Structure 1
Amino acid sequence: MRLRIFTEPQQGASYETQLAVARAAEDLGFDAFFRSDHYLVMGGGTGEPGPTDSWVTLGALARETSRIRLGTLVTAGTFRLPGPLAIAVAQVDRMSGGRVDIGLGTGWYEAEHTAYGIPFPSLGERFARLEEQLQVVTGLWRTPPGERFSFSGEYYTVADSPALPKPVRPEGPPVIIGGTGARRTPRIAALYADEYNVPFHVPEDTGAAYERVREACREQGRTRPLVYSVAQVVCCGRDEAEVRRRADAIGRDADDMRREGLAGTPGEIVDKIGRFAELGAECVYLQVLDLDDLEHIELIAAEVLAKV
């Protein structure tokens, strides 16, 4: 089981704070450092010092780390046109030596679009745009060197593109599709994803979502392997007092987190990760919400990572 550190910097984290967490994740043996792609704080608070752009941040981290993978969970399709997105991600991939994954989704948080002047079409249109974006982004990456790429869709048209720059791998960085939608998400994951992620659901619901995607893969005749993963808020403590202290620090209830996330002693967390593994999960994104608590990450590395 691969464990990845997953952060939400829009809640209030500078680049320097993210760098400290990424370096800790690398030094402690985690598989990756991931971050959200949001421009506005959620659930109260000021969000100071303000949002940091995900791909600008990951480009810098690509030069400050040497082993861990880097990526988004997930980039909002509403934020960037597919051509410039393909260029940015390919550049960061090359800057990192091929250590990039990209999660790509429809975008969902309307308030951040309003706050920064970003158009926010209907959900149906966002899904349609997402599918075209996936075709353009992966098409640009996978066009053989020296050849040109063109695409004509309802929302995006690409004409005679040199399809540069190229990412490190000819097939491009791994693409992650997430969510638990019953119809569109499974089909899109089956067609375009290298990894399918279920965020913030209990094992029973996660298993049902996995089965919908497996059925979609069968319907599409997919033979290429698909990685299954989960994202869970994590709150680990050596004893009950430490668990509750960390839950209080992020404004969560420890008992609720035990039911709905990964909370408790290291043994409890290892056991729950095992339940996800039984469903087919190969990778767990540990959402760390207090980025100043590096001792939390150290504890997880010593007592959880070492046992899974």
Structure 2
Amino acid sequence: MDLRIFTEPQQGASYDTLLAVAKATEDLGFDAFFRSDHYVSMGSADGLPGPTDAWITLAGLARETKRIRLGTLMTAGTFRLPGVLAIQVAQVDQMSGGRVELGLGAGWFEEEHKAYGIPFPKEKFARLEEQLAIVTGLWATEVGKTFSYEGTHYQLTESPALPKPAQTKVPVLIGGHGAIRTPRLAAQYADEFNLPFASIEDSERQFGRVRAAAEKTGRAADDLIYSNALVVCVGKDDAEVARRAAAIGRDVAELKANGLAGSPAEVVEKIGRYTATGSSRIYLQVLDLDDLDHLELISSQVSSQLS
């Protein structure tokens, strides 16, 4: 089981805070540092000091880390034109020496679009499908040849399809709970399917749908990596778990029911149950980005039991 650190900077984090978390992620042996792609805080968080851009953040971290993978859960398709996104991700991949992964979703949070003047189209899923075709098509185009695309929402004419990523194939992540279109899209484009904040039972059901969709297209179901994203709250004892839960405004019982919470032993046991669904990677949603001791505890007491 790979453990990756997943952050939500729109809730309130500067680049320096994210850099500290990314360096701890690397030093403590975690597999990757991922972040959300949002511009407005959610819930009761004030969002101070203000939003940071996902791909600008990852560009900085690409130069300040050496080992960990870097990526998004998920880049909002509404924020960027697909041709521009292909350039951005390829450049950051070059800057990192080939450590980038692209999670791409349709975009959903209308309030942040209104707040920053970003169009919020109705036909988001159809746009996402075209975006995936364009981004992957641009990267796959042989150097010296051009890429054209004629879609309903996007048209590209003889694009030079440059630059190329450092990796031969940038891993593409697709995720979500949709029962029909999401599995189909994952089967067609994804290297990894991610299911956010889902129960063990729902994970098993949705992974089964994706596996079936892959096989329907003639692709081996095991070609994809299956992963979960879950909030994490671990403590050496009940008091420490309660303190960490209070710091993120959550109830311990709710966290234990819907995330990975409790003692290291409790969390390891629950991770084992997700492993049984076919999940081989968990993105640990860390909500208190100033609590680096939390990451150290997970590394020493949880990760160490999963290797």
**Structure 1 length as normaliser, TM-score?**
0.98
Alpha-carbon offset, residue 255 of structure 1:
0.4
1:5-53 Cα offsets, whole Å, 9 max, x none, are 0000000000000000000000000000000000000002321110000
Equivalent in the alignment of 1:130: 128
Identity among equivalent pairs (%): 65
Equivalent in the alignment of 1:74: 74
Alpha-carbon offset, residue 79 of structure 1:
0.2
SS in 2 for 1:26: helix
Counterpart Cα distance in 1 of 2:142 and 2:274? 38
Equivalent in the alignment of 1:254: 252
| Aligned mate of 2:187, from 187, 190, 201 | 190
1:225-247 Cα offsets, whole Å, 9 max, x none, are 00000000000000111001100
Equivalent in the alignment of 2:212: 215
Is this contact kept in 1: 2:4–2:282, CA < 8 A? yes
Equivalent in the alignment of 1:45: 45
Alpha-carbon offset, residue 58 of structure 1:
0.2
Alpha-carbon offset, residue 276 of structure 1:
0.8
Alpha-carbon offset, residue 218 of structure 1:
1.5
Give the aligned residue type for 1:187: R
- 5 Å matches for 1:1-308? 1-122=1-122, 125-171=123-169, 173-223=170-220, 225-308=223-306
In structure 1, the gaps of 5 or more residues are none
Is this contact kept in 1: 2:10–2:51, CA < 8 A? yes
Give the aligned residue type for 1:206: S
Counterpart Cα distance in 2 of 1:100 and 1:170? 11
SS in 2 for 1:55: helix
Is this contact kept in 1: 2:146–2:160, CA < 8 A? yes
Counterpart Cα distance in 2 of 1:267 and 1:246? 17
Give the aligned residue type for 2:229: A
**4+ residue runs of structure 1 moved beyond 2 angstroms?**
none
Counterpart Cα distance in 1 of 2:264 and 2:140? 42
1:45-103 Cα offsets, whole Å, 9 max, x none, are 32111000000000000000000000000000000000000000000000000000010
Give the aligned residue type for 1:285: Y
1:196-248 Cα offsets, whole Å, 9 max, x none, are 00100110011101011111112111137000000000000001110011000
SS in 1 for 2:236: coil
SS in 1 for 2:265: helix
Give the aligned residue type for 1:164: L
Name the Cα RMSD after superposition. Answer: 0.7
